[in-house]
């Protein structure tokens, strides 16, 4: 008989969280901490969603999720998780760009970028200041008509090189393009510019281990290998969930699954009103990615001056369709030095990431798929040669992930690695009005994506949930013992 992953799970909870991406983990932690009885379900065998890692023989541990987040993570981790987690966050020093228009290294903060724009790109200081102030003043509820492309055209008309410097890292961070609303760019860019780029020392495995410890301490029940099958709705309200052949009663479900999976698989169209259904159907998912993971031999090193993040491109121009094309010209290399995982015998690792389209990979037959993956590895090694000479001799392990890989591990619609486009935020926020008790805390609307965006969205949603439970007369054990 297969192992029963729901063996110690109760029949009734205050909240069931579906999916343990950073948004689901954070919502579960906050609600558990405020005295709610919480069950966290994860379909995969480990927690973290896209904040994940994998091991390969030889002691290699590869991080999947993107290398670098804004300083705001320190505050969010301290407040919604623990000081131990917040204290592991360290700055990245070397962000590099190398393309036919320019090659430079930067600390990637406002001060450094202001100097660069003035000295290297010859932009007037007043224009630079006005641009930064405009981006910093943006709110997620502002107008959406202006696109990021139009924002750049207003401040830096005709300056494709400046656009490339300002846009390329953000496209890598959240999949947004020049055609998306300018606010999605301004908010994320300003978050980074406030203090630069940070990473989690110890790696994603260490982060998730600490989070799991915190969840357990806060009384959250966790079931892995347990894909939710159906969200149960009666008289228009959430009453439970079906998982592993069991029915678990709960007045609240927080879905950290992809928005489309939540609505059209777990809920079902028949429970949604027609207009809402149309609005939800029209939500575009963001693009997917390919990655190539490379490990160096035990005695091989990468010189520190190579940098931590390298935005490399051979494309003469900066265009959205070129970034998504199968004919890859732009790659972001993340260099991991052994001190990233001080506790282990870590080696030098390199991960190359590229934005990609699901359609380009979805229908390949097995043979063509394997050949395409091998081609991805080979062309990536060719591109890396410029930055790490003789890289083929130094690298002892290389393998590729494609949109199909991301789909396999996360079940995200079309392997989306950055959630949905901007319109997904409104649909996600409106869910509880459609079906009382149903909440969504996944990666939506670009601004709620990335490590910081998803954690903060988990907090926003758990606040709504706690409010709903209290209105329904369900006080927490914490509140009743305090009064």
386: nearest Cα among 352, 348, 420, 363: 352
Minimum CB distance to another protein smaller for 123 or for 135: 135
Per CB under 8 A, does 109 bind another protein? no
Check: CB of residue 146 under 8 Å from CB of residue 187. Answer: no
Q: Supply the minimum distance, in Å, between the C-beta of residue 417 and another protein.
A: 24
Minimum CB distance to another protein smaller for 390 or for 483: 483
Per CB under 8 A, does 12 bind another protein? no
Check: CB of residue 276 under 8 Å from CB of residue 37. Answer: no
152: nearest Cα among 183, 114, 182: 182
Q: Supply the minimum distance, in Å, between the C-beta of residue 214 and another protein.
A: 17
Per CB under 8 A, does 470 bind another protein? yes
Sheet holding 228-234, edge to edge: 228-234, 237-243, 246-249
CA distance 48 to 339: 22
Per CB under 8 A, does 466 bind another protein? yes
Stretch that binds another protein, among 82-90, 99-107, 315-323, 468-476 (CB under 8 A): 468-476
Binding residue (CB under 8 A) for another protein from 114, 372, 411, 463: 463
Per CB under 8 A, does 481 bind another protein? no
Per CB under 8 A, does 459 bind another protein? yes
Per CB under 8 A, does 14 bind another protein? no
> What single string gives the DSSP state of each residue in 84-123?
HHHTTEEE---EEEESSS-EEEE--SHHHHHHHHHHTT--
Binding residue (CB under 8 A) for another protein from 222, 456, 458, 465: 456
Per CB under 8 A, does 332 bind another protein? no
Per CB under 8 A, does 478 bind another protein? yes
Q: Supply the minimum distance, in Å, between the C-beta of residue 157 and another protein.
A: 31
Binding residue (CB under 8 A) for another protein from 20, 34, 148, 449: 34
**φ and ψ at residue 152, rounded to 5 degrees:** -65, -40
CA distance 31 to 80: 10
Per CB under 8 A, does 79 bind another protein? yes
Q: Supply the minimum distance, in Å, between the C-beta of residue 482 and another protein.
A: 8
Q: Supply the minimum distance, in Å, between the C-beta of residue 236 and another protein.
A: 21
Per CB under 8 A, does 147 bind another protein? no
Q: Which residues neighbour 36 within 8 Å (Cβ) at sequence distance 6 or greater?
A: 14, 15, 465, 466, 469, 476
Stretch that binds another protein, among 20-28, 104-112, 263-271, 475-483 (CB under 8 A): 475-483
Identify the sign of the CA torsion 140, 199, 195, 127.
negative
CA distance 301 to 312: 20
> What single string gives the DSSP state of each residue in 268-330?
-GGGS-HHHHHHHHTPPBPPEEEEEEEEE-TT----GGG-SEEEEE--SS--HHHHH-SS--E
Contacts with another protein, residue ranges (CB under 8 A): 34, 75-76, 79, 139, 456, 459-460, 463-464, 466-467, 470-471, 475, 478-479, 482-483
């Amino acid at each position: 008989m297969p192992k029963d992953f729901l063996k110690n799970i109760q029949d009734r909870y205050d909240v069931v969280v579906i999916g343990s991406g950073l948004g689901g983990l954070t919502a579960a932690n906050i609600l558990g901490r405020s005295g709610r009885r919480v069950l966290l379900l994860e379909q995969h065998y480990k927690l973290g969603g896209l904040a994940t890692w994998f091991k390969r023989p030889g002691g290699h541990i590869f991080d999947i999720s993107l290398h670098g987040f804004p300083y705001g993570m320190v505050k969010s981790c301290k407040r919604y998780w623990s000081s131990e987690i917040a204290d592991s966050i360290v700055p990245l020093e070397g962000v590099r760009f190398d393309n036919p228009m320019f090659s430079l290294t930067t600390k990637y903060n406002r001060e450094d970028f202001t100097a660069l724009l003035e000295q290297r790109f010859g932009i007037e200081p007043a224009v630079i200041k006005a641009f930064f102030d405009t981006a910093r003043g943006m709110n997620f509820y502002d107008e959406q008509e202006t696109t990021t492309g139009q924002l750049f055209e207003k401040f830096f008309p005709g300056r494709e090189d400046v656009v490339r410097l300002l846009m390329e890292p953000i496209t890598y961070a959240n999949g947004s393009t020049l055609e998306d609303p300018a606010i999605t760019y301004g908010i994320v860019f300003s978050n980074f510019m406030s203090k630069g780029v940070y990473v989690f020392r110890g790696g994603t495995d260490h982060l998730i281990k600490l989070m799991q410890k915190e969840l357990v301490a806060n009384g959250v029940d966790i079931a892995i290998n347990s894909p939710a099958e159906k969200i149960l709705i009666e008289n228009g309200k959430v009453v439970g969930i079906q998982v592993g052949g069991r029915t678990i009663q709960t007045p609240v479900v927080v879905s950290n699954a992809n928005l489309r999976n939540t609505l059209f698989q777990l809920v079902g169209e028949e429970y949604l009103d027609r207009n809402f259904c149309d609005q939800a159907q029209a939500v575009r998912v963001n693009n997917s990615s390919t990655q190539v993971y490379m490990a160096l031999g035990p005695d091989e090193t990468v010189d520190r001056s190579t940098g931590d993040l390298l935005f490399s491109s051979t494309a003469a121009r900066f265009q959205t369709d070129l970034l998504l094309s199968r004919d890859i010209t732009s790659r972001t290399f993340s260099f991991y030095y052994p001190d990233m995982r001080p506790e282990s015998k870590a080696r030098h690792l390199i991960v190359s990431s590229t934005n990609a389209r699901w359609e380009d990979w979805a229908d390949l037959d097995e043979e063509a798929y394997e050949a395409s993956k091998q081609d991805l590895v080979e062309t990536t090694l060719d591109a890396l040669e410029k930055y790490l000479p003789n890289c083929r001799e130094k690298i002892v392990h290389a393998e590729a992930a494609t949109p199909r890989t991301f789909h396999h591990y996360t079940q995200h619609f079309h392997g989306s690695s950055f959630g949905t486009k901007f319109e997904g935020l409104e649909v996600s926020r409106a869910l509880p009005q459609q079906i009382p008790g149903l909440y969504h805390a996944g990666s939506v609307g670009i601004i709620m994506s990335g490590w910081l965006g998803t954690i903060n969205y988990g907090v926003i949603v758990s606040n709504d949930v706690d409010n709903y439970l209290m209105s329904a007369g369900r006080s927490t054990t914490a509140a009743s013992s305090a009064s």
